[in-house]
Amino acid sequence: MLIHKTRETLSQTELRYATVHLFLGLAFSFLHVSVALAADKSLHKMTVTLHPEKTSIHWTLSDPIHTVHGTFKLTRGVVSLNLDDGSAEGLIEVDAASGESGSAARDGRMHKNVLESDRYPVISFRPTRIIGEAMAASDEVVTAEGIFRIHGADHPLQLRINLHPRGNEITVQTHFVVPYVDWGMKDPSTFILRVDRMVDLDVETTVSRELIAVPAIKP
């Protein structure tokens, strides 16, 4: 009888021990997974590389008689986006001297008198923040905030960007206006011919996206 009770007591003790061990094991496993997922989410970036051969930059300048169309060429561009807080960094550069409209005389005046591309050879955009769902699987519109640099001066700029994801590629489109005269560049208008004091820019590119996991910092 005593032996039977002792065995029963041991059995209950073992059961309680096994239950506590199982509970603690599940708790620690859940905590480990939760921390890992939180770290993984906060330590990811999306890096986007712009390629000149996949990028088109068109500008439009109007006057009372006709509208002038031209292009610029991208030099390079890399943007890194923190998926956790929307902060961004990187640099997109355009060759100012590549601006052309199909008229050598007009383009010569533009580079010499307006852009002064010999003195200011680079037009750039440095992003600081992306507002919106940049990793969306379907078409999306986001806002890019940053600094636009032209003619040697920096200007805060907000860009409305249309994203069209297709697999591992994204078609990116944006339109914005540069008030070049207000930004310190010469008005090319003459007494006879008046031109707009703003130029429209349309940019389209196809980029690839890549998720980069940043290793966790060990305590």
Q: What is the pLDDT of residues 150-208, one digit of tens each?
A: 999 999 999 999 999 888 888 999 999 999 999 999 998 876 667 889 999 999 999 88
DSSP for 137-176?
A: SS-EEEEEEEEEEETTEEEEEEEEEEEEEETTEEEEEEEE
The mean pLDDT of the chain is: 81
pLDDT of residue 216: 43
pLDDT of residue 47: 87
Backbone angles phi, psi at 196, to 5 degrees: -65, 145
Q: pTM for this structure?
A: 0.75
Burial class (CB in 10 A: 0-12, 13-18, 19+), 31: exposed
Residues 1-45: tens digit of each pLDDT: 544 444 444 455 554 555 545 444 444 444 343 333 333 444 578
Tokens matching residue 138 = 């379907």
Tokens matching residue 153 = 């001066």
Whether 91 has a pLDDT exceeding 50, the answer reads yes
pLDDT of residue 213: 52
Tokens matching residue 30 = 């859940």
- What is the torsion angle, in degrees rounded to the nearest 10, for the CA atoms of residue 105, residue 106, residue 112 and residue 116? -150
pLDDT of residue 46: 82
Tokens matching residue 72 = 């610029």
- 78 vs 13, more confident: 78
- Give the Cα separation of 99 and 82 in Å (integer): 33
Whether 74 has a pLDDT exceeding 70, the answer reads yes
